[in-house]
Amino acid sequence: METKLLTGNQALALGALHAGVRVVTGYPGTPSTEALACLLALEPEGVYVEWSTNEKVALEIAAGASWAGQRALCTMKMSGLNVAYDSLISIAYSGCIGGLVVYVADDPGVHAGMAEQDSRGFALMSDLPMLDPASVEEAYRLMRSAFELSERVGSPVFVRLVGAVAHSQAPVEVEEPAPIPRRKARLVRDIARFTKAGSAICTAQHRDLLARLEKAARVIGEMGLNRLQLASKTGGLGIVASGVTASYLEEGFEIAARFGFERGAVSVLWITAVNPFPTDEVRALLRHSSTILVLEELEPYIEKGICVEARRMGFTGRIVGKLDGPFERVGEYGVEQVVRGIGAALSLPIPDDLFQGSEAAESLAAERPITFCAGCPHRGTFMAINRAIRKAGYKKNEVVVTGDIGCTILGMNPPFHTAWTEVSMGASVGLAQGFVHGGAETPVIATIGDSTFFHAGIPGLINAVQHQVPLTLVILDNGWTSMTGMQVNPGTDETFQRPGDRRVDIAELIPALGVERFFIIDPFDLDEAAATIQKALELPGVKVVLSRQECAIQAMRRGIRAGKVRVIPENCNLCKLCITHTGCPAIGIDEDTIVIDPALCYGCGLCAQVCNREAIERVGESASQRVSESAIERGSEGARE
């Protein structure tokens, strides 16, 4: 036994490893990314780990491994579950052989962008068991339970973490088990189970699925995953807490005690297995209590389940939660909800301002919209798009530019204000076609990053080619899945692919998809890039512009810079054109000249290209000559400092 300081993601990954997982797949997405990333870095012997092209592919791989008898783990953020869900429902109908655990990370409070989706709803819809660990330590411990449950029931099992648990670090007692022998693959051909041909097969599978969920309830009971503690006297308050909310209970009890709360008088049900519904425990709690307080973040799934049981049992007491109570379906829960809930349920005099800090202070804070890193190639691409729109004779608000997921979406922020939409992976391509059919009379542009294009952009492009929809797709290819912390994707340079893996080059893919008007630009060569995009805007049909330079952060980590620039203070009149056009964080303002922070500057040369007083000079060869068409292709041969 050893105590380690781990994040929730690391704890979950280590738990899977110690449970004998053999195949791990996933697609990066905050707050889930680190779980797979840490296993990839660990390179555990006998375990296959990969970043897949998207979550659906990842899940299919994990399911295949499970059907061959191995324990498999598939990781994703909640948006990824939407992508994987088509396969997931079918896999749920078929069940599994080796333990199959699907890790999904939700983001209540939306710290990473996208939706406050409550993935517990997906467990309900697919009739799959789901565990919802309350803490980092539980994330480790419950992985073994999840695999055991999965194999005992023959069903895939969800493990869900919220971002606050996934990203938290806490000490965990880790116990490395004796090495688990590798299972020989067991190949079972059983079309009644693994195909969906015909109503007889599917309805039988549906029955099996429901039977497995029922069995899961029994096994969860035996494993003691949910915990019920009844007060010595009946008729008091019963508290139901699930997932992370349970971790705030003790603190809440201490605070509530100052206002007359008696810990000994309440019964508590800690729900770790949120699906199937813990009917027995809930019924026991309802029989014992006069009032129920339900603490669950986001959707009132458990609360509704309790209402159903209450009605079936003729329970007439109050159920305090979101339906009939003080709580919202938006945002994270904390100790405040515990204390307020207790206050509401027991009519305790909790002061209104107990957790009410001053909002005034925050309103004085400056807004800090995030922008591209210094030297980011996307900066050049969005500057070029803006210039191309202007030169083609349009105003910025006349040309629809759909955006997509990842770093590229920062093109919506100042100083670019270019992207109009952000929907889901790959959606920029489909949306753009919709704007065309919707009657846009000006050119329509879609923007997408490389990994996002591989993930779900390709079908959209094929659709545009087949139906010959006039649009310009700009693919911003920086060679990495950057927003989530620099993962390798199919287009990453061969040098960084795993030994034995190979690169899939977007430049070869596009013509093969039937795109006839295909251009490659260097985003650090503003004139050329803008002229090419302008030309594309003026041509008919489907145009694809591939904008290529490696992610500056990754290049700088290897000591590479695109070039070097120098400020000539005598020439600068502080017109600030460089700042208003690039928004580059490396540029600051001094007394009577701009200054460039040499530690941040990547030497992309974009600022020098917009300055019209020759106050910023490129030192040595120009960046666009030194980092040719594709720095990615040249890998580590790029210009070195």
Is the Cβ of residue 65 or residue 594 nearer to ligand SF4 in the bound state?
A: 594
Is the Cβ of residue 416 or residue 420 nearer to another protein in the bound state?
A: 416
Taking CB under 8 A as the criterion, the residue among 317, 470, 541, 585 binding another protein is 585
Contact residues toward ligand SF4 (CB under 6 A) are: 374-375, 565, 572-578, 582, 584, 586-587, 594, 596, 601-607, 611, 613, 615-616
Quick one: what does residue 249 bind among ligand SF4, another protein, none, with the CB cut-off 5 to 8 Å set by partner type?
another protein
Is the Cβ of residue 191 or residue 370 nearer to another protein in the bound state?
A: 370
d(CA 491, CA 450): 7
Residue type, 329: R
Per residue, the 3-state secondary structure of 6-57, as one string, reads EEHHHHHHHHHHHCCCCEEEECCCCCCHHHHHHHHHHCCCCCEEEECCCHHH
- Phi, psi dihedral angles at 616 (to 5 degrees): -125, 125
Query: β-strand 72-77 against 100-106: which pairing, if any?
Result: parallel
Is the Cβ of residue 465 or residue 600 nearer to ligand SF4 in the bound state?
A: 600
- Which positions from 96 to 125 touch another protein by CB under 8 A, shown as an x/- string? ---------------xxx------------
| Edge-first strand listing for the sheet containing 236-242 | 227-229, 267-271, 236-242, 289-295, 318-320
Give min distance, CB of 558 to ligand SF4, in A.
16
d(CA 589, CA 607): 14
Quick one: what does residue 15 bind among ligand SF4, another protein, none, with the CB cut-off 5 to 8 Å set by partner type?
none
d(CA 90, CA 570): 69
By C-alpha distance, which of 568, 552, 553, 582 is closest to 619?
568
Give min distance, CB of 486 to ligand SF4, in A.
18
Stretch that binds another protein, among 210-218, 458-466, 503-511, 585-593 (CB under 8 A): 585-593
Quick one: what does residue 604 bind among ligand SF4, another protein, none, with the CB cut-off 5 to 8 Å set by partner type?
ligand SF4
Three-class secondary structure of residue 3 per DSSP: strand
Query: β-strand 157-162 against 130-131: which pairing, if any?
Result: parallel
Give min distance, CB of 418 to another protein, in A.
16
Stretch that binds another protein, among 217-225, 352-360, 386-394, 518-526 (CB under 8 A): 352-360
d(CA 532, CA 527): 9
Give min distance, CB of 188 to another protein, in A.
43
374 binds another protein per the rule CB under 8 A: yes
281 binds another protein per the rule CB under 8 A: no
d(CA 35, CA 30): 10
What are the structure tokens assigned to 420, written together? Answer: 């109009």
The answer to whether the beta carbons of residues 3 and 173 sit under 8 Å apart is yes
199 binds another protein per the rule CB under 8 A: no
Stretch that binds another protein, among 185-193, 362-370, 440-448, 527-535 (CB under 8 A): 362-370
Mention every residue, 6+ apart, whose C-beta is less than 8 A from residue 512: none
List residues near another protein by CB under 8 A.
3, 5, 111-113, 135-136, 164-165, 167-171, 244-245, 247-251, 332, 334-336, 354-362, 364-374, 410, 414-415, 483, 485, 576, 579-580, 583, 585, 588-589, 600
